[in-house]
Amino acid sequence: GESVGLHLPTLSVQEGDNSIINCAYSNSASDYFIWYKQESGKGPQFIIDIRSNMDKRQGQRVTVLLNKTVKHLSLQIAATQPGDSAVYFCAENYGGGSNYKLTFGKGTLLTVNP
């Protein structure tokens, strides 16, 4: 029978190339964003975060860009390695203060070809 499930966006890159993973978030009031990486059989792992008062933040080999005008978030991975192959999720938090919930996107599957 036909398998029905999430049709994850996929991105396939060559080892050494730069990767850009995009995310459209839903709530214009969101003030905090996180990128998570989930490898097969494991829980999501924090990569990098950014607050809404910033438009760019850099980590080790990763950069997050935030465009609040169009509610868009991107994750750039430099010199992509096979170990970067995973599903990447963006997550947003809104309400600050006493709201500690994160709303996760559907994810993007990144495949790095050696």
Partner 1 sequence: DARVTQTPRHKVTEMGQEVTMRCQPILGHNTVFWYRQTMMQGLELLAYFRNRAPLDDSGMPKDRFSAEMPDATLATLKIQPSEPRDSAVYFCASGLAMTGVGRNEQFFGPGTRLTVL
Cα 5 to Cα 2: distance, rounded to the nearest angstrom: 10
Cα 45 to Cα 3: distance, rounded to the nearest angstrom: 28
Smallest gap, in angstroms, from Cβ of residue 84 to partner 1?
A: 18
Indicate the pairing of strand 10-14 with strand 108-113: parallel
Smallest gap, in angstroms, from Cβ of residue 81 to partner 1?
A: 22
The residues of the shown chain that bind partner 1, judged by CB under 8 A, are 4-6, 31-32, 34, 36, 42-46, 49, 51-52, 89, 93, 96-98, 100-107
Smallest gap, in angstroms, from Cβ of residue 64 to partner 1?
A: 14
Smallest gap, in angstroms, from Cβ of residue 44 to partner 1?
A: 5
In terms of CB distance, is 51 or 56 closer to partner 1? 51
In terms of CB distance, is 53 or 114 closer to partner 1? 53
In terms of CB distance, is 81 or 99 closer to partner 1? 99
Cα 91 to Cα 25: distance, rounded to the nearest angstrom: 8
The total of other beta-carbon atoms located within 10 Å of residue 2's CB is: 3
Cα 88 to Cα 15: distance, rounded to the nearest angstrom: 17
